[in-house]
Structure 1
C-alpha cells in the first residue's frame, strides 16, 4: 500500500451526472436487476413535500438536473446521490426496492441481487452498487459490492456518520481519506470512520470490485 497527499475535488456541479439512461448490462457484464433509481428519489421527495428547487438548492445542483435524475435522463455520481439522500432524510436501502420481510436468515441469490448505478461525468465510466444485505428498516449495517469500470470514480469527498470496512476483490483502486491517498490491490482491506472526508477511484485498466460494508445503514 502506498500513501501520498491529494487535494480535494472542486464543489459539486451538474457535471457529476450523466445525461443518458442506463443499460445495466454495460457494467462488467452484470445481470443484476437495476433499481428504478429516479422514480424512488422522486417518491422520497414527494413524501417530504419538497419541490425540485428546494432539494436542488440543498444538494448543490440545478433543479433541471435533479429533474433529469428523477426521470432517468441523468445518472447521479455517488457524492450527488449521497447528498440527495441526506436532504430527503432517507438511505440507499430505500432505492433498492421494497422493504424485505424480516427473517431469521436472509438469502440473496447472485442473479437476484438488486443494483444501483452511479456515474460522475457525462459521458464516462460508471460504478455499480450491488446489494448484499437485505432491505428491512431496522438494518444496522449496509453491505454492497462496488464494481468500478476503468476510470470510474466516486466524485468529490463524502462524509457521514458511521464506520466503513472494505476488501478489494479484483483490480486496483485509490482510496483517499482525509486528503491522503492509499493505493489498494486485490486482497487488501481498509477501515475508516465515515465522518472523515473520503472518495475513491479505479486505477486498473480493467474492472475493480470492492466488497464494502458500512454501519449504521445510513447510506
Structure 2
C-alpha cells in the first residue's frame, strides 16, 4: 500500500515542478493545509481520489497519470477484463480499480471499489469533490453518509448524488463491501 501512495506523491510533485505551481496553490485547491498536502506529496499521507480528480481537472492532467503514471491512449473504446483494471490501494480500508484507465478524454471515471470494514467506533472522514457520483452495490452492505443523512445500501441498490456535498462510506456487518462508483 505505501508504494502506490508514494508514487502518487512523486507524480504530484512532478506536476508541480513541470507547471511551476506552488504547493500552497494545490493545498488551497484541495481545501487542506500546506502541511497536509506536503505529507501527501512525500508519500507520508493519503490523498483521496476526489482530491486527485480536482487536481487533474484544474490542471488538465488525466486522472490516470496522477494515479497510475500512464497516459490514456484509446479513443474509440477501452475494454477492462474482470479483475484486470489498474488498481491502487490508497488507504488500508479502500481499494480502487479503474475500469476505464486507458480511455482518453472520458467524461466519467468508473471504479470498482472495495471497502474493508473498520473497527466499531472508527471515525470516517467525509470528503467532497465537484460533480456527481453514481454508486451501485454489487456485494455486501454499504453505509453512505451525505452531509448529515445516513443511508444503507444493500446489494443491488444504487444511488446518484451531488458529490460536492460532504460524504463518506463504511462497510457494514463486519464484511467488505464492493461497489461500482462512477464519478462524473
Q: Which category of TM-score, normalised to the shorter sequence, fits these structures?
A: 0.7 to 0.9
Structure of higher RCO (CA pairs closer than 8 Å, 6+ residues apart): 1
Contact in 1 for aligned 2:6/2:41 (Cα 8 Å): no
Cα distance, 1:76 vs structure 2: 2.4
Alignment-derived partner of residue 71 in structure 1: 42
- What TM-score, normalized by structure 1, do the two folds share? 0.66
Q: Distance in 2 between matches of 1:64 and 1:82?
A: 20
Which residue does the alignment assign to 1:117? 89
Q: CA deviation at 1:150?
A: 0.9
Alignment of 1:23-172 (within 5 A): 36-78=7-49, 81=52, 85=56, 88=59, 90=61, 92-94=63-65, 95-110=67-82, 112-119=84-91, 125-151=92-118, 155-161=125-131, 163-172=132-141
Q: Is 1:201 matched with 2:170?
A: yes
CA distance in structure 2 between the partners assigned to 1:213 and 1:39 by the alignment: 26
Match of 1:186 in 2: 155
Structure 2 distance, partners of 1:104, 1:81, is 25
8 A Cα contact 1:131 1:143, kept in partner? yes
Q: Is the 8 A contact 1:153 1:201 kept in 2?
A: no
Q: Is the contact between residue 79 and residue 157 of structure 1 (CA under 8 Å) also seen in structure 2? A: yes
Structure 1, gaps ≥5 residues long:
1-20, 25-33, 120-124
TM superposition shift of 1:147? 0.8
Q: How many residues align?
A: 180
For the 8 Å contact 1:53–1:63, the answer to whether it is kept is: yes
Q: Deviations over 1:84-104 (max 9, x none)?
A: 556656453332332232253
Computed over aligned residues only, the root mean square deviation of the Cα atoms, in angstroms, reads 3.1
Q: Partners of 1:202 and 1:78 in 2: how far apart?
A: 18
Distance across 1 between alignment mates of 2:109 and 2:21? 27
189 and 110 in structure 1: CA distance in 2 versus 1, 3 angstrom threshold:
same
SS across alignment from 1:75: coil
Offset of residue 212 of structure 1 = 0.9
**Partner of 2:2 in structure 1?**
22
Query: 1:211 aligned to 2:183?
Result: no
